[in-house]
């Protein structure tokens, strides 16, 4: 993403006037000024602009198609697949519309909610498919309004399959995709980017290939911004189609739909649905190996790679659209082989950004939600005016309460049985809780031989950055400093650093050391004595579940703990320790003990009572070492505390 | 100033609840959040709060009284005296009200305009005196409204001297200071802090000392916040007065008025006016040396120091108010001897802040006006919503045009004849202009033996910080790179650094190297070729008087060039290179060639035509080296440019 940003800069710089044209004070007085540093043009452009910019720059890109899941569990899995495949850097994903699956509803399996989650919680540019046949105008308008409200910006306008065999055109109804395109443009002006489908071999129901091209042209002229094609098996098919389109005046981007063959049955089913014919040479290879899934997939990958390569080499194709069938392996393999999968995607900010348009200026968050970004987005989803540089102008909007710990996109990927294995079928005391924390840090199996790969506060294994602190973290967790968040101090590493870097290249990133943990009131008492010695250097916030709060922070001022300095830009300070939001985080952090851990056990069971005891009596502590150029003193603070206790 | 800030922080930190009282999430949800980092409590408190805080902290302070000047030239001098004496750290200054001098008018010599300048352009907390006798209610209300509009926040409410001998009370008129106090509280509620006068020996017209104390109590109970006393000659006089005040229930601060004797005649005149009696032992010393000004001043300093010391030692006095008679030497000497003059005042920000209440959140300015802060304040005086963190939300308010180059507070301290001696009675070509720039940098006398101590773009000698770059600056100015602004790169020096430090202690300050200069189009052509090599590292803006603008900066984004990281705070970035305001600065920077320099010479004279030629044909260039941790590359850029030209 960052490479593109750089490109824009140099593009705008190359448009300088060299003493020629004037951009003097008169002309610039009316220019509006950015209120927030534009770190990443990708966050500010519409999809069609991104596409154009990539094309102008000669960058190749890809996109991924998914269908909505059937069950809530499958939804949880699909969202974590979005996170993983999103890391490879697709230009967008799209989510198909399942008329039979209540696609516009609030169900966790609906097309609408899956697309919503992709945009808002996974930060992916997303196209929502929408079909129009057999639907009323009001239904369609309602769906579109809802999509807009949720922050969706792109629609794939389709006819959809008529319900019965004997479908007839309805007068004044939506009979073709072109009607839907017109409707969107009429009702929503230029708000949505609109995509339409192209059929390289012609639509199976069209009178002719030529007639179908004419229909496509109508859709484009009605307001579509680009075309994604149905799958095809030979590159020539697409290249001919593209030339034919251009010949009749279709100039918008046309993106080939790529279907890596992943299995015999899925291919047969797809072919049946799409009424396409598989070329004989492919049939000849597949038939003999139809029972060997791995062999078919390997062949599918080879075939896709060679077809994609040929398309890209033609110079006519800049982006490739993949029909993933919700699977990861084959598509990822093809993309890696083509070299367009981003192995080391640069982070525009140290946290995962949301793709909702109203959040595009968001450039600062409290550090507390670092491992729970989806929860932070959820709790701030009602904010209108986004934190921009610093929070709001005078008062921050309230955080939403987190009641729905079981919302599918906030839920742990691991089922209850697995969590019990990791966190203990039976706890014998606070020490057994210390052990769970320690095993999570070290990666060593617990006493029953299970690795602890997630915690209530972090559904993923330890971050690479936290790994830098592993030895110290292990030591303190063993002794009851139960860490849930931390970062090392960084004094000006290049923004391209593979572990701590973020933002455009050519910059420098900085961090103050941070440590956040639960601990007993005995340890807190000793800690407070020790902290007196560090009064000028260490800021602390110490709070229990009842909200008793001890701090030495100047009143309500946030402390910037991550910042970056970049060429030609204002300073960015994306994470802060903010005293106000800490008290909201506190509610969530304490609740996770109960909601995610205690509730694994029977009521009144000793295990549950141990967790309840910790919840009721421990303190949540955060410490910042302000002296970032010196060696992190927080370990010494903890060491001094243990010494005082002995 | 910064010490106080630190004090506040630790005061607020010591009010922590240690597990006792609760400041949990419920109670904090309504708290407003600072929208800008509070660097300096002094900027946010009212005068009475500052006084109280200093008293609570056991800090000693001083204040300075001035009267309005008689002539415009004297006004220019007084303002530069404000700047110099303001550097010593007075808690406030006050400006007396001269009923005969049209005190509420817009004249540059009026009490109102002098106080306005002190607040807005010199950044001094200021009390405006105001008298009420012989004035209508409407007049008085008008003055107060104007004072409020200008950003004045404190009034010294006085009766003033009745006009004729036979003064009689007017029914419903303003007969006493107490009437004015009541009027201010009635009409302006709590907006102003009000000071009243106390007479340690009783008012000369009062029936008795006791009766006068009663009048004073009435003034305080009518709403005055503190008392400044008339001068006195013996510490006992004040201490008795203070005890008597307390005895009758006056609890507000009472500040002794100190008059360092500075000359025989000024003493006699003052004594006559104030109807005070000079104690015999003082007369005995003074009479024999009455013609020796220096001896009298030395004695006056000794006397004042010993009296002040006795007052401070009493433990009853926290602040001292000095009647300066608009002179600097004696008062400064007393303050230095007492150890309450700030030798090395810490800067809350790298530029001089304004004391106008609406500017108290101002924490970022373009670097261009670094040497012309008064002009920046003037040109942005109409802005309502102040640049806070970054500029405005979407569009910046327009800069006011600078037409009035001869406004007394924007004017050079040096008269025309001196400027001619510095900048040349007669110029022989562009080279003689290069020489003037070079002499300003080096501090060497010019070819006629005069030192160049100011330039049109900077009315003061080179800043200490710029001195770090002196050798390089000399070299480039000799060759026609006419520098008007620069700063070295700084990679994390302590915020207490005597040269580049600013802000609270315990922090670190940073800078990107900056260089701004006028130069010929030949040099610009070569420079642009050289800059291609530095494309990713150096940002540039190059503009001529017509507004032809060449830049490689990402569209309209400011580039932060000075920033600081402080314990427990957000990042502060007080200076930026802002592309939009650069074009406004360009107008001013080019105009200064004509307004300040060319106009020294006759129309059509060769000297004038040389300056006019430069104005018409040169470019204004600014360069930023973004790679602040490396050695400043801007000198190499210039070196490469000269090499290319040879």
Residue B111 bridge partners (DSSP): none
Confidence of residue B532 (pLDDT cuts 50, 70, 90): very high
Confidence band for A380, pLDDT divided at 50, 70 and 90:
confident
Q: What angle do CA B329, B331, B336 make, to 5 degrees?
A: 95
Confidence (pLDDT) at A426: 94
The answer to whether residue A348 scores a pLDDT higher than 90 is no
The candidate with the shortest Cα–Cα distance to A256, out of A236, A231, A277, A278, is: A231
The pLDDT of residue B161 is 76
Question: Which of B6, B570, B591 would you mutate first to test chain A, the one with the most A CBs within 10 A?
Answer: B570
- pLDDT bin (cut points 50, 70, 90) of residue B343 is confident
Q: What is the rounded average pLDDT of the residues A609-626?
A: 97
Selected catalytic residue, list A4, A26, A49, A65: A65
Q: Who has greater pLDDT, A487 or A32?
A: A487
Give the closest of A33, A546, A553 to B568, CB-based.
A553
On average, the pLDDT of chain B sits at 86
For residue B30, which residues of chain A lie inside 8 Å, CB to CB? 395
Contact B626 A506 (CB under 8 A): yes
Nearest CA of chain A to the CA of B124: how many Å?
A: 25
Determine whether the interchain pair A560/B565 forms a contact, defined as Cβ–Cβ distance below 8 Å: yes
Query: Which residue in chain B is spatially nearest to A7 when comparing CA positions?
Result: B554
Confidence of residue A358 (pLDDT cuts 50, 70, 90): confident
How does pLDDT run across B127-168, given as a tens digit for each residue? 999 999 888 899 999 999 999 999 999 999 999 876 555 556
Pairwise CA distance, residues A63 & A52, whole Å: 15
pLDDT at B637: 97
DSSP for B537-602, please give it. TEEEEEEETT--EEE-SSTT--EEEEEEE-TTS--EEEEEE-HHHHHHHHHHHHHHIIIIIGGGS-
CA distance A465 to A527: 26
CB–CB contact B390 A391 (8 Å) = no
Residue A411: both structure tokens together: 């839920």
Residue of chain A whose Cα is closest to the Cα of B571: A560
Q: What backbone phi and psi angles, to 5 degrees, belong to B54?
A: -60, -45
* A370-379, B17-26, B435-444 — most confident range: B435-444
8 A C-beta contact, residue A611 and residue A594? yes
Asked whether the predicted pLDDT for residue A395 surpasses 50, the reply is no
| Mutation for B interface: A568, A575, A580, most B CBs within 10 A | A568
Distance, in Å, from the CA atom of A534 to the CA atom of B13, rounded to the nearest integer, reads: 13
For B301-310, the pLDDT digits (tens) are: 999 999 999 9
Residues near B301 by Cβ (< 8 Å), separated by ≥ 6? B260, B330, B333, B334, B337
Residues of A in contact with B580 (CB under 8 A): 28, 31, 33
- Report, as residue numbers or ranges, the catalytic residues of B: 65
pLDDT at A308: 97
Distance, in angstroms, between A595 CA and closest chain B CA?
20
Residue A125: left (phi > 0), alpha (psi -120 to 50), or beta?
Answer: beta
Q: Are the beta carbons of A404 and A437 closer than 8 angstroms?
A: no
The pLDDT score that the predictor gives to residue A634 is: 97
pLDDT for A103-151, tens place per residue? 999 988 999 999 999 999 898 999 999 999 888 899 999 999 999 999 9
Mean pLDDT confidence for A540-549: 95
Q: For the ranges A9-23, B34-48, B341-355, which has the lowest average pLDDT?
A: A9-23
**Which of A75-79, A183-187, B159-163, B170-174 has the least mean pLDDT?**
B170-174
Nearest to A321 by CA among A541, A471, A129, A455: A129
d(CA B36, CA B571): 10
Q: Residue B19 is encoded by which pair of tokens?
A: 């597990």
Interface test with B, best of A6, A23, A33 (most B CBs within 10 A): A33
**A578/chain B closest Cα distance in angstroms:** 10
pLDDT at B467 over 70: yes
Distance from CA of B394 to the nearest CA of A (A): 5
User: Which chain A residue lies closest to B29 (C-alpha atoms)?
Assistant: A398
CA distances from A342 to A62, A127, A346 (A): 11, 21, 9
**A-chain residue closest to B25, CA distance:** A583
The Cα–Cα gap between A435 and A423 comes to: 9
The minimal CB distance from B24 to the residues A549, A563, A624 is found for A549
Question: Which residues on A lie below 8 Å from B36 (Cβ)?
Answer: 390
Whole-number pLDDT of residue A173: 74
Distances in whole angstroms, Cα of residue A412 to Cα of each of A406, A453, A466, B293 = 9, 11, 21, 87
Helix axes A606-617, A430-442, angle to 10 degrees: 80
Question: Which chain A residues touch B389 with a CB distance below 8 Å?
Answer: 389-390
pLDDT tens sequence across B371-420: 888 888 888 887 776 654 334 333 455 676 666 666 667 778 888 999 99
Ordered alpha helix ranges (H), A87-208 = 111-120, 137-149, 177-188
Are A51 and A319 in contact by the 8 Å Cβ rule? The answer is yes
Least Cα distance to A548 among B24, B30, B28 occurs for B24
- What pLDDT does residue A158 have? 95
Which percentage of chain A shows pLDDT scores above 90? Answer: 64
Model confidence at B45: pLDDT above 70: yes
Residue B641's pLDDT is what? 97
Using CA atoms, how far apart are residues A531 and A544, in angstroms rounded to an integer? 18
C-alpha span between A316 and A312 (Å, rounded): 7
CB pairs under 8 A between A and B: 245
Please tell me the least confidently modeled range out of A140-154, A543-557, B10-24: B10-24
pLDDT at residue B525 greater than cutoff 70: yes
CB-CB neighbors (< 8 A) of A16 in chain B: 550-552
Residue A17: which of B33, B393, B549 has the nearest Cβ?
B549
Say how many Å lie between the first and final Cα of chain A, rounded.
52
User: What is the pLDDT, as a whole number, of residue A164?
Assistant: 53
Residue B160 corresponds to which tokens in the numbers above?
């003033």
Q: Is the pLDDT of residue A296 over 70?
A: yes
Name chain B contacts of A629, Cβ cutoff 8 Å.
492, 508
Contact B395 A32 (CB under 8 A): yes
Q: Where are the beta strands (DSSP E) in A50-172?
A: 61-66, 92-95, 126-131, 154-158
Residue B519 has pLDDT above 80, yes or no: yes
Task: Determine, for residues B17 and A550 on separate chains, whether the beta-carbon distance falls below 8 Å.
Answer: yes
Distance from the Cα of B321 to chain A's closest Cα (Å) equals 32
B547:A394 CB<8 A: no
- Min Cα separation A340/chain B (Å): 25
Query: What pLDDT score does B163 carry?
Result: 56
CA dist list (Å): A476 to A129, A455, B291, B386: 51, 17, 79, 47
Query: What average pLDDT does this structure show over A465-478?
Result: 90
Helices and strands, number each (H, E), in chain B: 22, 18
H helix or E strand, kind and range, residue B322: strand B319-323
Say whether A621 sits in a helix, a strand or coil.
strand
User: Which CA distances in Å does A267 have to A56, A272, A294, A296?
Assistant: 35, 9, 14, 10
Query: Among B9, B15, B25, B387, which would you mutate to test the A interface (most chain A Cβ atoms within 10 Å of its Cβ)?
Result: B25
A431 catalytic? Reply is no
Give ipTM to 2 decimals: 0.79
pLDDT bucket at A24, cuts 50 / 70 / 90: very low
Q: Is the model's pLDDT at A9 over the cut of 70?
A: no
Q: Three-state SS for B205?
A: coil
Pull the structure tokens for residue B554. 């990402």
Phi/psi region, residue B554 (left: phi>0; alpha: psi -120 to 50; beta: rest), is: beta
Shortest CB distance from A626 goes to which of B392, B568, B576?
Answer: B568
**Measured between alpha carbons, how far is B439 from B447 in angstroms, rounded to an integer?**
9
Residues ≥6 apart with Cβ < 8 Å to B396: A33, B387, B580, B581
What percent of chain B is modeled with pLDDT above 90?
Answer: 64
Average pLDDT value for chain A: 86
CA distance B495 to chain A (A): 12
Please say if the pLDDT value at position A610 is more than 70: yes
Residue of A37, A390, A528 with shortest CB distance to B557: A37
Four-CA torsion A285, A287, A290, A292, nearest 10 degrees: -40
Say yes or no for a CB contact (<8 Å) between A35 and B390: yes
Token code pair at residue B304:
């004042």
pLDDT at A522 > cutoff 90: yes
Interface with A, mutate which of B383, B571, B572 (most A CBs under 10 A): B571
Q: Is A328 helix (H, G, I), strand (E, B) or coil?
A: coil
Cα separation, A347 vs A3, in Å, equals: 11
**Ordered structural domains, chain B, with CATH:** 53-164+172-338 (3.20.20.220), 367-645 (no CATH)
With contacts defined as CB-CB under 8 Å, which chain B residues touch A37?
Answer: 557
- A567 chain-B contacts, CB cut-off 8 A: 536-537, 539, 559, 626-627
| pLDDT for B31 beyond 80 | no
């Amino acid at each position: 993403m960052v490479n593109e940003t750089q490109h824009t800069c140099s593009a705008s710089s190359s448009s300088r006037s060299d003493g020629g044209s004037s951009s003097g004070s008169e002309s610039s007085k009316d220019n509006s000024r950015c209120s927030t540093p534009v770190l990443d043009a990708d966050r500010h452009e519409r999809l069609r602009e991104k596409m154009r910019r990539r094309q102008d720059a000669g960058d190749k890109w890809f996109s991924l198609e998914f269908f909505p899941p059937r069950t809530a569990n499958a939804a949880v899995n699909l969202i974590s697949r979005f996170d993983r495949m999103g890391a490879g850097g697709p230009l967008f994903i799209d989510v198909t519309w399942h008329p039979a699956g209540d696609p516009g509803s609030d169900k966790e399996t609906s097309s609408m909610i899956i697309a919503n989650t992709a945009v808002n919680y996974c930060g992916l540019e997303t196209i929502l498919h929408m079909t129009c046949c057999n639907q009323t105008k009001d239904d369609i308008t309602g769906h579109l309004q809802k999509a807009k409200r949720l922050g969706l910006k792109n629609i794939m306008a389709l006819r959809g399959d008529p319900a019965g065999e004997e479908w007839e055109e309805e007068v004044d109804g939506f009979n073709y995709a072109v009607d839907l395109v017109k409707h969107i443009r009429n009702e929503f002006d230029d708000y949505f980017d609109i995509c339409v489908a192209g059929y390289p071999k012609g639509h199976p129901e069209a009178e002719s290939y030529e007639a179908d091209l004419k229909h496509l042209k109508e859709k484009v002229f009605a307001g579509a911004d680009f075309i994604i094609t149905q799958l095809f098996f030979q590159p020539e098919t697409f290249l001919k189609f593209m030339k034919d389109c251009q010949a009749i005046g279709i100039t918008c981007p046309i993106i080939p739909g790529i279907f890596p063959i992943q299995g015999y049955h899925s291919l047969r089913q797809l072919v049946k649905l799409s009424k396409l014919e598989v070329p004989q040479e492919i049939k000849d290879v597949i038939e003999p190996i139809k029972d060997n899934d791995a062999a078919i997939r390997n062949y599918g990958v080879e075939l896709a790679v060679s077809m994609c390569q040929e398309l890209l080499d033609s110079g006519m194709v800049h982006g490739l659209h993949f029909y993933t069938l919700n699977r990861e392996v084959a598509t990822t393999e093809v993309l890696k082989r083509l070299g367009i999968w981003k192995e080391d995607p640069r982070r525009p900010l140290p946290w995962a950004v949301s793709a909702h348009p109203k959040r595009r200026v968001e450039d600062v968050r409290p550090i507390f939600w670092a491992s729970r970004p989806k929860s932070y987005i959820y709790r701030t989803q009602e904010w209108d005016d986004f934190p921009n540089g610093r929070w709001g102008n005078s008062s921050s909007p309230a955080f939403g309460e987190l009641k729905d710990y079981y919302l599918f996109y906030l839920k742990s990927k691991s089922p209850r049985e697995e969590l019990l294995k990791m966190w203990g079928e039976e706890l014998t005391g606070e020490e057994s809780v210390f052990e769970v924390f320690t095993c999570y840090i070290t990666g060593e199996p617990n006493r029953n031989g299970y690795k602890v790969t997630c915690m209530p506060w972090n559904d993923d294994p330890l971050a690479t950055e936290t790994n830098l602190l592993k030895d110290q973290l292990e030591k303190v967790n063993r002794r009851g400093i139960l860490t849930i968040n931390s970062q090392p101090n960084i004094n000006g590493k290049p923004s391209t650093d593979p572990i701590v870097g973020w933002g455009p290249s050519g910059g420098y990133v900085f961090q103050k050391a941070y440590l956040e943990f639960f601990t007993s009131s005995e340890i807190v008492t000793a800690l407070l004595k020790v902290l007196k010695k560090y009064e000028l250097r260490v800021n602390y916030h110490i709070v229990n579940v009842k909200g008793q709060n001890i701090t030495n922070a100047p009143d309500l001022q946030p402390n910037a703990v991550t910042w970056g300095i970049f060429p030609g830009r204002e300073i960015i300070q994306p994470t802060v320790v903010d005293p106000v939001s800490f008290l909201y985080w506190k509610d969530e952090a304490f609740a996770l003990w109960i909601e995610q851990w205690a509730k694994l056990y029977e009521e009144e069971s000793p295990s549950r009572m141990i967790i309840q005891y910790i919840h009721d009596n421990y303190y949540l502590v955060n410490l910042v070492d302000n002296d970032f150029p010196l060696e992190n003193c927080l370990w010494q603070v903890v060491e001094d505390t243990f010494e005082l206790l002995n």
